[in-house]
Amino acid sequence: MIALVDDEKNVRMTIRTALKKEGFEVAEFANGKEVYDAVLNGLKPELCIMDIMMPVMDGILCLRKMREAGIKIPVMFLTSRDEEFDKVLGLELGADDYLCKPFSMRELIARIHVLLRRYGNLMQDNKENEKENSCDRKKELLFSCGLELNLLSYTAVADGQKLELTVTEFRLLEAFLKNQNIVFSREQLICVCYPEDTYLNDRAIDCHIKRLRKKLSAYPKLSEKIQTVYGAGYKWE
């Protein structure tokens, strides 16, 4: 089921019609507060498609509150505003994609399938990994300076404390820890984080790196581990 959040009824109707033709179940909401409250009360959408500019609670605030509450539903932003600020802020808060109005229904459907496939593969991988025995589990742990990544459960611990990460942030850390002191270009990191996605640009990776650095900054041993190699990309040093 897809949660569709937009204050414009005509926009919701157009998107809802396209989604239902593709076989999706759709739950509609007129603002961020409505969908946020619904999720807190047990609604479990596979994806949230959300406008940014809305009354009562806008999309940015709704996403922030969701992430602060530990809600990891993938979010795609729809916006008629072309300012880079909106796109960057959304990605920094943990949005998974954005689409600027006007857009074609064909592109929207394609992006939806990419996001659902990405998260569906992750959930399937986790289910299969849970069947591994304890010996195999030891091989699925990565360590660096008090940071521990569990590749089976997609969890991270830093200095004994749980580190809340989005899927993209976890994949970035996994790549860095498996290849320490190796420089990744932005294009390579896009392939690591979004193997099914051809829509993202370099700026999206920069936003995720910035957000990840902010989370790691709370731990002195990790605060400067992600190094920028100017003109080349990033590395874990």
* E-assigned strand segments in the chain: 2-5, 26-29, 47-51, 75-79, 97-100, 141-144, 147-150, 155-158, 161-162, 226-229, 233-236
- In the block, tokens 């922030």 appear at 64
Q: Which domains does the chain have, with CATH numbers?
A: 2-123 (3.40.50.2300), 133-236 (1.10.10.10)
- Give the separation between CA 208 and CA 8, rounded to whole angstroms: 30
Mind spelling out the 3-state secondary structure of 115-150? Answer: HHHHHHHHHHHHHHHCCCCHHHHHCCEEEECCEEEE
CB 44 within 8 A of CB 50: no
Element (H or E) spanning 95, and its range? none
Among candidate residues 7, 49, 8, 11, the one with its CA nearest the CA of residue 27? 49
The per-residue pLDDT for 133 is 43
Share of the chain above pLDDT 70, in %: 84
Instruction: Please say whether the beta carbons of 146 and 158 come within 8 A.
Output: yes
- Tokens representing residue 161 in the block: 């404390």
Per mean pLDDT, which range of 9-23, 38-52, 94-108, 169-183 is the poorest? Answer: 94-108
pLDDT of 190 reads: 81
Phi, psi of 4 (to 5 degrees): -110, 120
Cis peptide before 74 (omega within 30 of 0): no
Nearest to 216 by CA among 154, 155, 147, 150: 147
Q: State the pLDDT confidence band at 125, using cuts at 50, 70 and 90.
A: very low
Please state, in angstroms and as integers, the Cα–Cα distance from residue 35 to each residue in 40, 53, 158, following that order.
Answer: 9, 15, 32
Nearest-5° angle of CA 229, CA 233, CA 235?
Answer: 70
Mean pLDDT on 99-114? 86
Residue 164's contacts (CB-CB under 8 Å, 6 or more residues apart) are 70, 215
Residue range 56-88, pLDDT digits in tens = 999 989 998 998 888 888 899 887 755 555 666
pTM for the predicted model, two decimal places: 0.59
Q: What would the two tokens of residue 18 be?
A: 């396209």
162's CB contacts (< 8 A; 6+ apart) are 155, 156
Residue 235: band (very low, low, confident or very high) from pLDDT cuts 50, 70, 90: very high
